[in-house]
Amino acid sequence: MKSWNLESIRFYSLDGKTRDLNFSLGEVNIITGDSNTGKTAIIRVIDYCLGSSSCRIPSFIKDRTSFVLTKWTNGDVDLIVSRAIPKKSAKTSTKMFVEYGACVNVPGKIEDLKGRASLEQARLAIEKLFGIGNAYQGGDSSIADRNRISIRQATPYMYLTKNVVDSDTILMHGLDDSRAAPMIVGAMPFFLGAQKEDEIAAERRLKQLEKMIEAEVKRKENLNKSNLDFINKCHSLLRESRQVGIYENQELPVEADALIERLLNVSKWDFKKVNIPNEDEINSLIKDKSCIHSEISRLKRKRKSALNIGSESSSFKSTVESQTKKLKSLDLYNCYDVHVCPICDSNIAEVNEVVEKINGSFKSLEFERKVVSKHKPNVDNLIRSIDEEIELNTREIVNLDNNIKSLIAESEEAKRFNNLSQRAARISGRISYFLDSHDFNSSFDSTRLNAYIEEKEELEERFNIERKMQRLSIIENTISNYASEVMKDLPRGIPCDTSKIQFFSKKPSVVLYDNEAGREYQFDDVGSDENYLTIHLSLIFGMQRYLKEAKRPVPNFVVIDQVSRPYFSMKEGNESEVELKVGVSNTQMDEDTLALKQYFDFLFDEVERRSGLQVLVLEHAYFSDDKRYKNAVKYRWHKVGTEKLIPEEWPVS
């Protein structure tokens, strides 16, 4: 594969003018000058024409241009890629033109641009010419373009932008972009040659198969779980049915068909309601019981009164009998004849008043005794009669209680039965709904799963992932050796001065190894800006050596935004071009100048050593006494001069 270099850039003004930047192929090209003259915009224009999703060209340029164009060549084929500048209200434009062939001339007018293409079509055309083909990263996505390896993942091997060139956190261009970084890392095995296109397609298919196998296994597990849940639910419904009496079998089958058959039989159960006894009848009996209780109370009161009367009669009788006995003692004195003296038995002409009174009392007592003796048996009869009535009423209450209890028991049993029947009806309905809404799949169809597993095993046998990792490890070591060789030619301090670079691609990183000291240094432990600049240059040129040697589909082109950044930073107020001469004194400025000169000497030497390598440096420094440097400077732009990237007289949109 021949090396692709950038031959020229053209800007089209709003009124038909053009501005061209022409570069030497296979050489170091330098654009130097003051700050804010457009140097940094060069990388953004190149990137925009290589199909970036957004337009990050500075507004000063966008406001004065309508199209930008880049021309690439490999000596046999020319490739012209042009793209419209978005309007102010838009973030980007997908209007592009792609033209390629032998000896293709850059159109002088926008109207002469050929090969109208969309952004995706333009990317595909560029990738085809660069040799990227139609490879896909090892992954799976519903959006095809998301995993397709494109020219966008080749830019980290070509760009050292101002935020990367001496960064202590960003190793390569694009790795600080959370959206772009995963795709850059995923495409790295392809660009480094650890995988061929068919191997990448196989790995992508393997990952698809792994997901499909996982989905089928999950479906199988879900089916088994669903069937187990189905059987458990059937058992639960049959147990509930047994509790309400509509399933009498103690056995719970484990076969789904038997369970379904028994549930179907239970679901056909017919609800039967039992009438609950009339509560009015119970209330009537309770009312009768209350009336009898009242009657018993009345009889008991009557009995008490009779007992009181009998007691009084007995007491009165006792008193009468006592008085009668006393009066009978008068018989000794013949007190009954009122004309005879009770003492001497002599006749008395007149009636004896005392005797007459005694006889009267005696007669009265005798009468009362006879009355009491006659009345006492009637009272006793009354009490006996009352006791008999009380006993009858008590027996009636017992009968009423028994009747009431019986009716209540019948009512509770009926209610319980109806409640069970209602529960049974609900369970029967739930069983019907369950059988209608749930299916039992007796077995899992493993046809697809077996086919996926068979295809996966076949691909794993044909394309061994371990071999890919082995090749990747060899490539990482090769790049590390190249980078370590480059680092020897560049300024460096501790720990770079005694260490070698080890590059890792899986999660792109760099570790410095000092074999003599037996120490390793992580990327963020390196220290000075000069060390970081050296590591970045060593890594990108080490990669370019390997990519050219392995004939990988990456342009043999590197663009660097200010090598002198660690020495002449814009933050220190150095906005004008810094003119340098290699001095001989020991001042700090001379040491920095010598260090910077060493970097550029390496660039010139590397281009001479590596046929086809092109380097474009956007620089702030200018070595006025270095012949190679002066010959490499294509443009010098100063704020007070007439030459800038975009002429100030161009009209503004």
Cβ–Cβ under 8 Å, residues 174 and 47: no
* pLDDT tens-digit series, residues 623-638: 988 999 999 999 999 8
Which among 206, 261, 222, 640 has a CA at the least distance from the CA of 459? 206
Cα–Cα distance measured from residue 341 to residue 338, given in angstroms and rounded to the nearest whole number = 8
Cβ–Cβ under 8 Å, residues 495 and 514: yes
pLDDT of residue 433: 77
CA distances from 35 to 140, 164, 620, 625, 638 (A): 45, 18, 7, 22, 8
For range 66-81, the mean pLDDT: 97
Whether the per-residue pLDDT at 416 is higher than 80: the answer is no
Band (pLDDT 50/70/90 cuts) for residue 140 is: very low
pLDDT of residue 210: 92
CA distances from 62 to 43, 146, 282 (A): 14, 29, 102
Whether the per-residue pLDDT at 563 is higher than 90: the answer is yes
Whether the per-residue pLDDT at 50 is higher than 80: the answer is yes
Band (pLDDT 50/70/90 cuts) for residue 605 is: very high
Q: Of 81-95, 201-215, 390-404, 527-541, which gets the smallest average pLDDT?
A: 390-404
pLDDT of residue 142: 38
pLDDT of residue 420: 62
* pLDDT tens-digit series, residues 428-439: 777 777 777 766
Q: Which two tokens stand for residue 168?
A: 């202590």
State the residue for tokens 């595909």: 124
pLDDT of residue 139: 45
Cα–Cα distance measured from residue 452 to residue 321, given in angstroms and rounded to the nearest whole number = 129
pLDDT of residue 495: 93
pLDDT of residue 145: 45
Q: Of 22-36, 409-423, 557-571, which gets the smallest average pLDDT?
A: 409-423
What is the percent of the chain where pLDDT is above 90?
47
Cis omega before residue 495 (within 30°)? yes
Cα–Cα distance measured from residue 297 to residue 430, given in angstroms and rounded to the nearest whole number = 58
For residue 580, the cross-strand partners are 623
Whether the per-residue pLDDT at 333 is higher than 50: the answer is no
Q: Of 322-331, 455-464, 611-620, which gets the smallest average pLDDT?
A: 322-331
pTM of the model: 0.68
pLDDT of residue 571: 47
Q: Of 298-312, 506-520, 605-619, which gets the smallest average pLDDT?
A: 298-312
Whether the per-residue pLDDT at 203 is higher than 70: the answer is yes
Band (pLDDT 50/70/90 cuts) for residue 617 is: very high
Question: Which amino acid would we find at residue 156?
Answer: P
pLDDT of residue 108: 94
pLDDT of residue 484: 97
Mean pLDDT over each residue of the chain, to the nearest integer? 83
pLDDT of residue 491: 95
Band (pLDDT 50/70/90 cuts) for residue 367 is: low
> Which of 357 and 262 is assigned the larger pLDDT?
262
Q: Which of 78-87, 415-424, 461-470, 515-524 has the highest mean pLDDT?
A: 78-87
Cα–Cα distance measured from residue 581 to residue 562, given in angstroms and rounded to the nearest whole number = 18
pLDDT of residue 631: 96
pLDDT of residue 94: 95
Whether the per-residue pLDDT at 581 is higher than 90: the answer is no
What is the percent of the chain where pLDDT is above 70?
79
Band (pLDDT 50/70/90 cuts) for residue 89 is: confident
Whether the per-residue pLDDT at 584 is higher than 60: the answer is no
For range 590-601, the mean pLDDT: 91
For range 119-143, the mean pLDDT: 75
Whether the per-residue pLDDT at 135 is higher than 90: the answer is no
Residue 232 exposure: Cα atoms within 13 Å on the Cβ side: 6
> Which of 47 and 378 is assigned the larger pLDDT?
47
* pLDDT tens-digit series, residues 456-491: 888 888 887 788 889 999 999 999 999 999 999 999
Whether the per-residue pLDDT at 102 is higher than 60: the answer is yes
CA angle 550, 75, 599 (to 5 degrees): 60
